[in-house]
Amino acid sequence: MDSIISCHECDVIHRIKALPGKGTAHCIRCGAVLYKHKPNSLDRTLAFAVAGLILFILANSFPFLGLKIGSQVRETSLITGIYELYIQGMQVIAILVLLTTVLVPFTQMLCLLYILLPLKFHRLPKGLPRVFRFFNNMGPWGMMEVFMVGILVSLVKLAGMAKIIPGISVYAFLTLIFVLAAMTVSLDSHLIWHIWGENQ
Amino acid sequence: MNHEFTTAKAAGLISCHSCHLLCESGKRFVERVCPRCGAQLHDRKPNSIARTWALVLAAFIFYIPANVLPITTVISLGKAQSDTIMSGVIYFIHTGMWPIALVIFLASVFIPLLKLLILMFLLVSVQRKSSWRPQERTRLYRITEIIGRWSMVDIFVVTILVALVHLGGLATIHAGPGALFFGAVVVITIFAAMTFDPRLIWDTEEATYE
């Protein structure tokens, strides 16, 4: 049954065919993307995940933004805002922000490392289906790129009243958003399930 | 539309929602586990319509306090000033920063409402077994899936402002109760888009030609 697939949006059955380089297969009825040709998916995704982890550690261990009014300077890291919300009594919002900007992206990268590193050396990681399903379920909750827009909006908001000093973290964070996007795009989930199915 | 399309459901197959393997749909409940990845098999998302309605209505209710209650309170030199989402937008229009006003208006007011209206329209159309432009309706569904996350912008702005503007007696910013309800709206609408099954849009198609 590995040679046919049904559209996840309208359920029509398609036969899986080999695609030309960088080709995309669409559903003939509703036009949804069925699968894509992704060259070197395992290696590329693994590389992006490793790069992402390094950037993530950088982004979270240096000052993020500084605010200067007169002689007062306040430096903050990514976590400061979450901490401040928490002690202001907004625990739910604090946890939501912590999840969407820190925990989910971090866990996603760890999950991919756990799956891809053994596969790279032709071994099957233990409990692959569970880990990979967990990874996929987290998908909608990683919101780093949205956070970036939030940063831009706050910068413009504060630009009139104070001097903003961007920290090292901001650059790491900016790069991280692109690396995470590349990681998601290069990941071929059909391939991973296929490898798992073949080796059971 | 023509008859050429065979759906998995019509062929007695179920597509695993987790690994997309097409599996034979067993008669008994215990058989309904994907042989490849072990996920539970459902031919359609369970109780999709009822669950999506519940979430959409809940989001509508929360949408009101999210817009009426203050999202931030600025305490500056002993004076407190509360802002709702709309008053923030209006402030930016007045100060001439209309691109920012537009971003906040789109992300915080327009997108959640648009998303809820689209989902309601899709739910009603599926319940009325409408065969009107299924392709366009599927595209509408795809839009709701993609845009929902961008509503989080305002929550993130509040987080950053709260962190940065913390200058003792000079100025501090507190998050208001509106932020809580607004966060709830975003999370609930994301869940609502997840529980809706776009295949229901196409199921009427098959029923018409059976």
What ipTM was assigned to the predicted interfaces of this complex? 0.90
* A57 vs B: CB within 8 A: no
Percent of chain B predicted with pLDDT > 70: 92
CA atoms within 13 A on the CB side of A175: 15
Name the pLDDT band for B78 (thresholds 50, 70, 90).
Answer: confident
Identity of the residue in B6, B158, B180 whose CB atom sits nearest the CB atom of A12: B6
Rounded distance between C-alpha atoms, residue B80 and residue A1, angstroms: 65
Asked if the Cβ–Cβ distance from B166 to A140 is below 8 Å, we say no
Cβ of residue B11 closer than 8 Å to a chain A Cβ: yes
pLDDT digits (tens, 9 = 90+) for A93-132: 999 999 999 999 999 999 999 999 999 999 999 999 999 9
CA distance B195 to B164: 37
Across the interface, whether the CB atoms of B198 and A9 are under 8 A apart is answered yes
- Rounded CA separation A102/A124 (Å): 28
Chains A and B form CB pairs within 8 A to the count of 193
In this structure, whether the domain defined by B47-209 belongs to CATH 1.20.140 is answered with: yes
A31 to chain B, any CB pair closer than 8 A? The answer is yes
> Any chain A CB within 8 A of the CB of B42?
no
Distance separating alpha carbons of residues A98 and A95, to the nearest angstrom: 5
Given B22, B155, B190, which is nearest A140 (Cβ)?
B190
Phi and psi angles of residue A36, each rounded to the nearest 5 degrees, phi first: -130, 155
**How many Cβ atoms from other residues are within 10 Å of residue B197's Cβ?**
25
d(CA B152, CA A96): 10
Helices (H) and strands (E) in chain B, counts: 8, 5
In this prediction, residues B73-77 reach a mean pLDDT of: 86
CB-CB under 8 Å, B149 with A146: yes
- Specify the pLDDT at position A3: 83
pLDDT at A126: 92
Nearest C-alpha of chain A: how many angstroms from B72?
11
* A168 at interface of B, judged by CB pairs closer than 8 A: no
Residue B209 pLDDT level (bands cut at 50, 70, 90):
low
Q: Are B164 and A76 in contact (CB < 8 Å)?
A: yes
Cβ B162–A196 below 8 Å, yes or no?
A: no
A27 in contact with B, Cβ within 8 Å: no
At B175, give phi and psi (nearest 5°). Answer: -75, 140
Phi/psi for B108 (5° steps) reads -100, -30
User: What does the pLDDT read at residue A123?
Assistant: 92
Q: Which residues of A touch B36 (CB under 8 A)?
A: 129, 193, 196-197, 200
* Cβ neighbours of B198 in A, within 8 Å: 9-10, 30
Q: What is the pTM of this model?
A: 0.90
- Considering only CB atoms, A1 lies closest to which of B23, B164, B190, namely B23
pLDDT(B26) > 80? no
Segments of chain A scoring below 70 in pLDDT: 1-2
**Nearest CA to A17 among A29, A34, A32?**
A34
Identify the pLDDT of residue B96: 85
Express each pLDDT in B128-146 by its tens digit: 998 889 999 999 999 999 9
Residue B140, chain A, CB below 8 Å: the answer is no
β-bridge pairing A24-26 and B22-24 = unpaired
Tell me: pLDDT of B74 over 80. yes
CA-nearest residue to A141 within chain B is B149
How many CB atoms lie under 10 A from the CB of residue A15? 7
User: What's the distance, CA A65 to chain centroid?
Assistant: 22
Question: What's residue B1's pLDDT?
Answer: 45
Residue ranges of chain B that CATH labels 1.20.140? 47-209
β-bridge mates for residue A35, sequence order: A25
